[in-house]
Amino acid sequence: MILNLFKSKPKLKEIIPKGFIDIHSHILPGIDDGPKNINQSLELINEMKKIGFSKIIGTPHTYQGLYNNTSDSIKKSYEIIESKISKDLEVYYASEYLIDLSLVKKIENNSILCLKDNFILVELPFFNMPMNSYEIIFKIITNGYRPVLAHPERYKYLFDDFNKFKKLKKVGCLFQLNIFSIVGYYGDDILNISKKLLKEEMIDFIGSDIHNINNLEIFGKKIRTGETKKIDKVIERTIRYFD
């Protein structure tokens, strides 16, 4: 995909190529803070297809005490909609795992759902970074998995020192940017750190983190960063790795 050089601020949907692969979405019904039922789930999936999505990986939260999902519960949610999905759209399932001690147990029990191969989507808490986070990340990696950290630009406790982002990369985390961040959906502070992460070429992959049908209107908003070439590069890398 090549962006029009004379259109510096395209709409978000205009930078979504046909064949786009979404590695982070909440599209499975009745399992987390995504769609509540099968109808909402299918409506969301069908609208994403119209935008250009060709493959969507549903990644419901696995968050002990809040979303106590298991590989089986996620699979069952997926199976509810599997036969009703358009044949020209690929939909798969994995999970977005909170980095905590329960994740270590899942890894030790080989009960992890990967995005593809050995890539697993992980997230940190939004309010603080647990003291044992690096230890858990180390265990993820030493057990043969590659952690893809969801939306690093949204963890505001990292903003005071950019070296914290660099440390997460150094210990082996891959970074997945939320595509809604580049239109300012989460606020200007998150937009600005997204720009810096893109400029420093620290973003590996991109995903929507879409939760409901109302999020679709965000694709009509204009992007608010001049790093369009780097966004294009990240989109292409995401498609290449997860095709």
Residues belonging to the chain: 243
- Supply the CATH number for residue 19's domain: 3.20.20.140
Comparing CA positions, the residue from 96, 88, 87 lying closest to residue 28 is 96
Mean pLDDT of the chain: 94
Q: Once rounded to an integer, what is the mean pLDDT over residues 182-201? A: 97
- Dihedrals φ, ψ of 211, to 5°? -120, -30
218 or 86, which is more confident: 218
pLDDT of residue 169 exceeding 80, the answer is: yes
Q: In this model, does residue 159 exceed pLDDT 80?
A: yes
- Whole-model pTM: value is 0.94
Q: Tell me if 1 is assigned to some domain.
A: no
The number of beta carbons lying within 10 Å of the beta carbon of residue 235 is 19
pLDDT at 2 over 50: no
Strands (E), the chain: 20-25, 53-58, 61-62, 90-93, 96-98, 119-123, 146-150, 174-178, 205-207
Specify the pLDDT at position 188: 98
Question: What does the pLDDT read at residue 110?
Answer: 86
d(C-alpha 31, C-alpha 60), whole Å: 7
- Domain for residue 144, yes or no? yes
Say if 4 falls within a structural domain. no
Radius of gyration for the alpha carbons in the chain, expressed in angstroms and rounded = 17
The pLDDT of residue 5 is: 45
Task: Report residue 2 as tokens.
Answer: 């090549």
Share of the chain above pLDDT 90, in %: 91
pLDDT band, residue 227 (cuts 50/70/90): confident
Q: Is residue 139 part of a domain?
A: yes
Q: Tokens 């250009």 map to which residue?
A: 52
Its domain, for residue 168, covers 12-242
3 pLDDT above the threshold of 70: no
Q: Is residue 2 part of a domain?
A: no
Residues 76-83: what's their mean pLDDT?
Answer: 96
Confidence of residue 83 (pLDDT cuts 50, 70, 90): very high
Question: Domain count of the chain?
Answer: 1
The DSSP string of 70-137 is: -HHHHHHHHHHHHTTS-TTSEEEE--EEESSHHHHHHHHTT----SBTTEEEEE--SS---TTHHHHH
Q: Is 3 among the domain residues?
A: no
Q: How confident is the model at residue 8 (pLDDT cuts 50, 70, 90)?
A: low
Say what the pLDDT of residue 6 is.
Answer: 45
Supply the pLDDT for residue 9.
Answer: 84
- pLDDT the model gives residue 73: 96
Would you state the pLDDT for residue 4?
46
